[in-house]
Chain A
Amino acid sequence: DTEVTQTPKHLVMGMTNKKSLKCEQHMGHRAMYWYKQKAKKPPELMFVYSYEKLSINESVPSRFSPECPNSSLLNLHLHALQPEDSALYLCASSPAGGRGTTDTQYFGPGTRLTVL
């Protein structure tokens, strides 16, 4: 298995809803990442988990809450989002736990989130 999978592919939610995005990889990678990508823009890093511990939070609002239950799974819990949070949310993983500058990141297909 050489891919990162994400569910759901599409999600529409209201501003008062609570939802979760899921990411899974079975490549034995030790770092996992959440990115946000707006239309026609590059991905922007949100969170990094290295060896199942949160190592980077890029000043993301608390309405986004990441969780890493084990080394293969990464969740992003969403609560009280705003319409401007609508975007493509990408998950990525890398083999070496993000340590060392040559740790290549591999991306999933993303979840297209629309907040009404």
Chain B
Amino acid sequence: GESVGLHLPTLSVQEGDNSIINCAYSNSASDYFIWYKQESGKGPQFIIDIRSNMDKRQGQRVTVLLNKTVKHLSLQIAATQPGDSAVYFCAENRGSQGNLIFGKGTKLSVKP
């Protein structure tokens, strides 16, 4: 798999490899984070979430890691498939009104 730097807009991986998508957040008071997947022409689709009292959460083929010390969030996708090709957004929930602040997004392309 590939490890990417922060704010990289695109990531290209080989089918079957692991993908890592990174996200930085700015507000240390944010206590809930969500990863969304957005395919072309569709709305964002919920993938996985994590609360600030956790540092790792696993789903089906996906893992989210949270490092509150450096305010960094990552999404790991195992055995990346062509269907994983999409733009991935991290989002942080800062306030009691449910305001979601989205990151810039990373476009994942999977090569067969």
Contacts and interface: CB of A to CB of B under 8 A. Distances in A.
Interface stretch (B13-21, B38-46, B69-77): B38-46
A101 B31 contact: yes
Contact of A101 (B89, B94, B103, B105): B94
B104 interface: yes
B93 A103 contact: yes
Nearest to B45: A107
Contacts of A94: 98
A92 B93 CA distance: 15
A90 B44 contact: yes
B95 A101 contact: yes
A48 B98 contact: yes
A51 B46 CA distance: 22
B97 A50 contact: yes
Contacts, number: 73
Interface in A42-88: 42-45, 48, 50, 55-56
A33 B99 CA distance: 10
Interface residues of B, number: 26
B43 A108 contact: yes
Contacts of A18: none
A109 B34 contact: no
B25 interface: no
B108 to A, nearest CB: 14
A43 B98 contact: no
Contact of B96 (A40, A92, A101): A101
Nearest to A44: B102
Contact of A109 (B30, B32, B42, B97): B42
A105 to B, nearest CB: 6
Given A42-B105, A98-B97, 14 more contacts: A33-B98, A42-B89, A42-B103, A43-B89, A55-B97, A56-B99, A90-B44, A100-B96, A101-B31, A101-B96, A102-B93, A104-B49, A105-B46, A112-B41
8 contacts: A42-B89, A55-B97, A90-B43, A94-B98, A99-B97, A101-B30, A102-B49, A104-B46
* 7 closest cross-chain pairs (CB), A and B: A98-B98, A42-B102, A107-B43, A107-B44, A102-B32, A101-B93, A101-B32
